[in-house]
């Protein structure tokens, strides 16, 4: 006996079905990669105990996502995921459908309409023009198709939206950080508008459910990494056209959307801190002489921003200037070891700190570089940007680290402008 399809309970569209197929393919592919090529828990333990592995690699290895993948592989190797492996075989689903067709069952659970609740995100401004709204979600593979009453893909809107997005974020950063140089502002903007963030926002607002395309499964899988980010840019472009080429809707929305990321930048690089640490060796109050106490940030205030400073400094300067963390000395006072570490870039000391272990001392040294020596960080960020354009590179500082700290020889390479 056939039953009537209830469209109020189940939201099914052509694009949604394609997305479900793609999601399953991605899950199958990811599961295979993790179980074949991933690390298990024993691998993680051995890596963490090795003295030959840099601390930066160990930190990334202990990321929650890596640990979750290691748990998954370990469970698979122990035979605990045999049922899951079977479920990921499409032929298993076909057999299940055949076996279930001979019997019927009732379920007390209800299938709610598929919606995405964008928690914490600002309300999405509406595009009033129906034709513009439709075009935002039309992939080039579906344009001019007889199935859809639209004859243009979102590519032109994407082009426009990319420009509008960069313009709004540029003005926002320019106003928020008046002390930042062009190189660092460019880096911050690229982090905010990276495809990862655009994709997350796109999915959070449910844009993926509205996508219309004629891509086959393989093509859609290959395009997935950029597809939803492109749709977000297309929506920005569509909103700009719908607003008569004005920004009164777009700017407040994007400002609130980017605010958490910008505030993170502000907290990692507070402008209230001393802009640079270039001690005057003729001064009676030479801060270098007090470095062991000045940089001893207690464990109670070692916040998340300090713990992640090494990663943030790496993102700002990589790949041209990779920070290194040099152990200056290890003190053993009353069986409580203390490590003194310097953050070094291009041979130049950017930060010094001490802590109860080498890892925390390195994080604090990176924090010192991002706060008290922000001008130097900006300098290398600017050099990095110029190098991409074929510009000059700074000379490597060859003065020994301890002499730099003791004598205050810091700024041998000025800003590149």
Catalytic residues: 162, 233
Angle, vertex CA 297, rays to CA 294 and CA 300, nearest 5: 155
Sequence-separated (6 or more) residues with CB below 8 Å from residue 324: 343, 344, 345
Sign, CA dihedral 58-63-65-69, equals positive
* Sign of the alpha-carbon torsion through 201, 207, 212, 215: positive
Q: How far is CA 78 from each of CA 29, 30, 33, rounded to the nearest angstrom? A: 20, 19, 17
Q: How many CA atoms lie within 13 A of 159 on its CB side?
A: 3
- Kind plus residue range of the DSSP H or E element containing 14: helix 14-37
Beta partners for 338? 331
Question: How far is 193 from 172, CA to CA, in rounded Å?
Answer: 13
Any residues with CB less than 8 A from the CB of 125 and at least 6 apart, and which? 239, 249, 250, 253
β pairing state of 348-355 and 324-333:
unpaired
The burial of 224, by beta-carbon neighbours within 10 Å (0-12 exposed, 13-18 middle, 19 or more buried), is given as: middle
Contact 397, 413 (CB under 8 A): yes
Sheet with 348-355, side-by-side order of all strands: 324-333, 336-345, 348-355
Backbone angles phi, psi at 332, to 5 degrees: -125, 90
DSSP 412: S
Tokens (6 digits) for 194: 């990276």
Please give the structure tokens belonging to residue 182.
């062009």
The pairing of strands 336-345 and 348-355 is antiparallel
From the centroid of its chain, how far is CA 103?
Answer: 48
Three-state secondary structure call for residue 132: helix
Helix ranges (DSSP H) in 243-333: 250-268, 291-294, 304-307, 309-317
Q: Which two tokens stand for residue 150?
A: 């639209």
């Amino acid at each position: 006996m056939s039953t009537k399809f209830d469209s109020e309970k189940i939201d099914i569209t052509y694009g949604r079905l394609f997305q479900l197929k793609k999601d399953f393919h991605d899950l199958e592919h990811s599961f295979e990669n993790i179980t074949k090529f991933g690390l298990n828990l024993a691998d993680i333990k051995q890596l963490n105990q090795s003295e030959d592995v840099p601390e930066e690699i160990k930190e990334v290895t202990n990321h929650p996502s890596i640990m979750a993948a290691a748990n998954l592989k370990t469970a698979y190797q122990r035979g605990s995921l045999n049922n899951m492996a079977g479920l990921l075989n499409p032929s298993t689903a076909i057999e299940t459908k055949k076996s279930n067709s001979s019997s019927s069952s009732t379920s007390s659970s209800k299938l709610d309409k598929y919606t995405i609740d964008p928690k914490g995100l600002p309300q999405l401004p509406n595009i009033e023009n129906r034709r513009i709204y439709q075009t935002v979600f039309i992939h080039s593979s579906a344009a001019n198709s007889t199935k859809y009453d639209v004859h243009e893909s979102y590519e032109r809107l994407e082009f426009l939206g990319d420009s509008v997005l960069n313009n709004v974020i540029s003005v926002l950063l320019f106003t928020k950080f008046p002390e930042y140089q062009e190189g660092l502002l460019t880096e911050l903007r690229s982090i905010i508008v990276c495809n990862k963030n655009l994709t997350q926002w796109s999915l959070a607002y449910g844009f993926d459910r509205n996508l219309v395309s004629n891509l086959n499964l393989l093509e859609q899988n290959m395009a997935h990494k950029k597809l939803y980010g492109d749709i977000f840019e297309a929506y920005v472009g569509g909103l700009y056209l719908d607003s008569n080429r004005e920004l009164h809707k777009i700017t407040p929305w994007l400002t609130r959307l980017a605010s958490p990321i910008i505030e993170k930048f502000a907290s990692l690089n507070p402008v209230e801190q001393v802009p640079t640490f270039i001690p005057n060796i003729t001064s009676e109050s030479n801060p270098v002489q007090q470095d062991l106490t000045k940089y001893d940030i207690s464990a109670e205030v070692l916040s998340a921003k300090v713990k992640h400073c090494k990663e943030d400094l790496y993102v700002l300067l990589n790949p041209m200037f990779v920070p290194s963390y040099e152990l200056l000395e290890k003190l053993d006072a009353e069986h409580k070891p203390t490590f003194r570490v310097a953050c070094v870039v291009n041979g130049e000391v950017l930060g010094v700190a001490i802590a109860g272990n080498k890892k925390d001392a390195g994080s604090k040294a990176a924090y010192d570089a991002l706060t008290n020596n922000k001008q130097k960080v900006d300098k290398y960020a600017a050099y990095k940007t110029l190098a991409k354009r074929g510009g000059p590179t700074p000379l490597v500082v060859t003065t020994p680290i301890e002499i730099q700290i003791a004598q205050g020889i810091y700024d041998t390479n000025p800003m590149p402008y």
